């Protein structure tokens, strides 16, 4: 019976060549799964060796047969998708830092507008990106309280005033 996704000898050579160049452990496991599949191992046996789920083995083989070796060797999980460098972010936040140190209230919407102007595009409705930038630079959210939590009630304050007046007369 013919397998749905067969890997030829030329493709095995290509996979082994990529395996020699590889330095990423995740890519290594995917390439190993392909080689074991080409050798005729069952999906269950490949799953035991690689630690992948049986269904994922099928996905790896199908993806390789459809898209080639580049789909196996590229690492799609890369970090640092920042729009500005740390120094650029610091320069952008400097006027807002001066305002905050002077006791002014700094609103996130103003920082967001400046950030969008600097990167040349809109961030949409969310402020999450801006909060990440502020966190990266050691800012924290400090809001003025509308009233002190231990403030006495208005009735108690009035009673205290009346007592004060009565004691002075």
Global confidence as pTM:
0.47
Give the number of other Cβ atoms within 10 Å of residue 100's Cβ: 14
Instruction: Please give the Cα distance from 47 to 62 (Å, whole number).
Output: 15
Per domain, the residue ranges of the chain are 9-73, 86-136
Q: What is the band of 1 on the pLDDT scale with cuts at 50, 70, 90?
A: very low
pLDDT tens-digit readout, 79-133: 666 788 899 999 999 999 999 999 888 999 999 999 999 999 888 888 888 999 9
- Please provide the average confidence, as pLDDT, over all residues in the chain: 87
Closest residue by Cα to residue 59 from 34, 32, 28, 26? 34
pLDDT, residue 115, reads 94
> Rg (Cα) of the chain, in Å, rounded?
31
pLDDT tens-digit readout, 64-76: 988 888 888 886 6
Helix H, strand E, coil C: the string for 56-79 is: HHHHHHHHHHHHCCHHHHCCCCCC
Beta strands per DSSP E along 47-124: none
């Amino acid at each position: 019976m013919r397998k749905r996704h067969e890997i030829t000898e030329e493709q095995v050579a290509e996979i082994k060549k990529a395996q020699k160049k590889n330095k990423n452990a995740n890519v290594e496991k995917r390439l190993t799964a392909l080689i074991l599949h080409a050798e005729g191992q069952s999906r269950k046996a490949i799953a035991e060796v690689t630690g992948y789920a049986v269904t994922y083995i099928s996905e790896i083989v199908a993806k390789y047969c459809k898209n080639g070796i580049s789909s196996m060797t590229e690492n799609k999980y890369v970090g640092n998708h920042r729009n500005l460098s740390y120094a650029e972010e610091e320069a952008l936040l400097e006027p807002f830092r001066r305002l905050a140190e002077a006791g002014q209230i700094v609103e996130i919407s103003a920082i967001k507008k400046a950030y969008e102007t600097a990167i040349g595009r809109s961030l949409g409705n969310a402020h999450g990106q801006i909060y990440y930038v502020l966190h990266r630079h050691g800012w924290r959210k400090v809001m003025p309280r509308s009233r002190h939590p231990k403030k006495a009630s208005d009735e108690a304050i009035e009673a205290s005033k009346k007592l004060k007046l009565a004691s002075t007369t």
